[in-house]
Structure 1
Amino acid sequence: MKGGFNNIVRQAQQMQGKIAKVQEEMAEKKIEASTGGGMVTAVVTGDQELLEVKIDPEVVDPEDVEMLQEMVVGAVNQAMKLAGDMMNEEIEKITGGMSIPGLF
């Protein structure tokens, strides 16, 4: 029985190492999402760090700042969701879809 437990622990450690590597790789990836037909674009890393927000000057209207704010929030949220989904897909490849509390 002890050998089986040690094997499980070893496999979990290997899985954790693979997940750490994926997380490092994801930090290097850039994910882009836009709103308003491309008028506002957000670029985030795979580990969900906001890198850049691009705003087309045509969408800047001092009379309607609220619309621009909503477009920025929408683009950032979409980029973050895409990055999170990508990270989850990569981790599921390693874990086979099983959830292991405390593994990452």
Structure 2
Amino acid sequence: MTDFTKILDKAKELESKMKESQKKIKEIRVEGVSGSNSVKVILDGEGEMQSIKLSEEIMKEDKTIIEDLIVAAHNSAKSQLKTKTAEEISKATGGLGIPGFKWPL
């Protein structure tokens, strides 16, 4: 019975750490850039775009180029966000891999 109690204690500890981790993830902000810093996209920890900044110089470019640079900046930010959320989850789980668990991004 003691082993079961230890397992429950560990589960409660992990749950607490995951809740704290989720709070920290919500506070994450990442910046994706493209076109030599002509386009900047800021995402929050939930993957929502918070802002987009376009330089004056880039506004002189063709519309399709601007669109491609926005997509590239967003993808860059999303990649950084995946890395940061994975790091945060790893801290909470102590490096334990949780089989089948994928963060929703």
**TM-score, normalising length: structure 2:** 0.82
Q: Distance in 2 between matches of 1:48 and 1:22?
A: 16
Match 2:86 to one of 84, 88, 99: 88
Moved over 3 A (4+): 101-104
CA positional deviation for 1:102:
7.4
Identical columns (%): 27
Q: 1:30 to 1:22 in 2, by over 3 A?
A: same
Match of 1:68 in 2: 66
Q: Deviations over 1:42-97 (max 9, x none)?
A: 101123221111111211246x2111111101111111111111111111122122
Structure 2 counterparts to residues 1-104 of structure 1, below 5 A: 2-61=1-60, 64-101=62-99
CA positional deviation for 1:6:
3.0
- Check whether the contact 2:17–2:93 (CA below 8 A) recurs between aligned residues: no
SS at match of 1:83: helix
Task: Structure 1: give runs of 5+ residues left out of the alignment.
Answer: none
**TM-score, normalising length: structure 1:** 0.82
Task: Structure 2: give runs of 5+ residues left out of the alignment.
Answer: none
